[in-house]
Structure 1
Amino acid sequence: MASPNMQIARNARTRVADRVTSKVTDALKSDTAFESGSLALSARIAGAAAEAVLELPAEARRTLTRRQAELVRGVRRLVETFGDERGRRKIELIVPETVERSVGEGLGPIVPEEEGKHLLNELAVARKIEDWAGTVAGASELNRDYGIPRSTLHRWQHANEVIGLLKGTKKHVFPVEQFIDGRPALGISAVIGLAGSHRTAWLWLRQANPVLGGRRPIDLLKQDRIEEVIETAQAYFDPQ
């Protein structure tokens, strides 16, 4: 026979879904984006998820915490699958009795490498690095404005702990946005390793990411949400 304490704990867990559902409903009922039906459904889903998490062993909860970005994507995909109407009317396509065969224009003649580079240069549009990378600064500016020693910056760059972008032929500049409290945000080295280059990594870090709720990965790194960003980067750069 279960002890009174065990029975109390069990009853508390069985009521957690109702409590969470009620709190979510109260929190969102003034939000005009939710209709009554969608509000009730969203609250019920939140309550069921909270109860399921509560019943997991501590180790399983820690694992989910590390993989919460993947979990959120999975929950979203599961909900979206119920949006497919089984009886939805299909678009009827009229297939002609005869089909004209076409092979297209093909790739065109192969040109020598030098000529190809010349043609690409004619099509390329020059852009300032600040146009896509944001505010950047050289080693001297970082030392003057942020007190970052050149030797420290060089060590970070050598260890791939900071994003360094080549400006011109030799000079490297560093996006200022990646720094917090005088040092690069933690997790940048992992993103560089997954992206394969500093330029690609910084382009990805600065773009709003739908998997992260429309937020930019660099902003989350600066909030110490490192594991969430790295998991998202792994799914993007190494989907295998």
Structure 2
Amino acid sequence: MTKFQNSSDEIRHHEFATVVAKEVERLLAQRNEAVDAHILATASRIAGSVAAAVTSLSPRHQRAIDAIQGDLAGLASKFVRTLAVEATRRSEAKIAGMEQAPTVPPVLIEGPAQPAQRDDFESMLIEDWAGRVAGSTYLEENLHIARSTLHRWQKRNDVVALRTGGRKHVFPLAQFIDGRPIAGISDVQSAITNPRLAWFWLTRQSTHLEGRIPLDMLRQDLVEEVAAAARAFSGG
């Protein structure tokens, strides 16, 4: 396909998305008079973009989506939550002036909160993007990892530790196999020094790895490939 054809397709998809967005916004405005107009416009643009993206899929993938109609609401909800996390990450990165290498955003809490409530709330939000996490007590009782051992691993960057408030840390459980951290995590954290960004990168598809997930590759002992990709991602 030529560059001109690609540009034409993009224009058509943009036009289609715009038409869908306007129609969705009109219908939402009729049924949700109390909702802020800006929110309605944003929701409508998302709906238009999704509709255009679906029409650009191959027939095989379109049929696959059509076959899971009953699950669409749940999948859409998950997509919107992921979209919100990504949007917040970009907003925080822009504010910090770090668009070249954005960090996963710290949790923001509106209004007063007691320390225990703050920790619980932050842990809950961390699990929205980091998967299951646990503190040192859980790891000691269930994975038989002594606190001294965990502390040593943390100092050597052998494990990813996510701060949740004050000096408290939680540890993503997916990084442990048979009570030990997966080999290669320290290599990744040497390149991507922010733990949140390191874990975010480890658990998402990487363009530097042809769409593969770095953590899955570490489980296959492909440490050198993942380490090189982490350095490329960080610009090192």
Q: Which has the higher contact order (CA 8 A, sep 6+)?
A: 1
**TM-score in terms of structure 2 length:** 0.48
Larger-Rg structure: 1
Greater helix fraction, Structure 1 or Structure 2: 2
